Copies of this chain bind each other. A is one copy, B any other.
Amino acid sequence: MKHDTSALGYAILGLLQGKPASGYDLRKIFSSTSMRTYSSSPGAIYPALRRLEREGMIRGTVEDGSGLRRRQVFRVTPKGLVELRRWIMLPIAREDLTSGLKTVMLRFAFSEKAVGASASLEILRSMEVALRPHLRELGQKLEEIRPVAPTSGWLALECGIRSYESLLQWSRYAISTYEKQLKGGTL
């Protein structure tokens, strides 16, 4: 398999795994929820659906019957579910942190339903592990540029550092949330 699925493809896969939906449904979800970052334009959604179907990740069935508008509802296939799980459980690398956290957070958001709570916990722990060296490196970079860059330059870098620190705090909070839940609830 030469090309892997695009970010939009995985977002669709994750949503469909929650509940079967039509292209139009997905567009509404993308444009109305906090997933606005993903397309929502028909020129992106429908081709993405066709690609996923061609790869065997999803299957669309035309809803017919009582005088209905043509409407195609898509469901995740077993193969699609396997691929979704694989993508979610990829180890978190440094590039995942630097290239916008959107993708990682999407994987985490889908993780519980797709793989289970203990997998979500695993993602969180690997995120925490990846964050520490990254923060250290950014701190060093700040020391370097602070004397030579304009104020707005190093302030911007500090902004990044702070956001990663807040992410680290969140990950600890999320870990403890899951640990409580796993100890108390699912036993």
On A, residues with C-beta under 8 Å from B are 33-34, 36-37, 95, 98-100, 102, 105-106, 108-113, 117, 120, 138, 141, 150-153, 155-160, 162-163, 165-167, 169-170, 174, 177-178, 181
Copies of this chain in its oligomeric complex? 2
Contact: A153 with B105, CB < 8 Å? no
Known: A37-B98, A160-B105, A163-B163. A155 touches B169 (CB 8 A): no
Considering only CB atoms, which chain B residue lies closest to A174 in the complex? B155
Given A108-B156, A141-B34, A158-B170, A151-B100 contact (CB < 8 Å):
no
Contacts of A152 in B (CB 8 A): 108-113, 117, 120
Compute how far the CA of A153 lies from the CA of B17 in the bound complex, rounded to whole angstroms. Answer: 14
Let me know if B151 and A98 touch, CB within 8 A: no
Tell whether, in the assembled complex, residue B155 and residue A177 are in contact, meaning their CB atoms are under 8 Å apart. Answer: yes
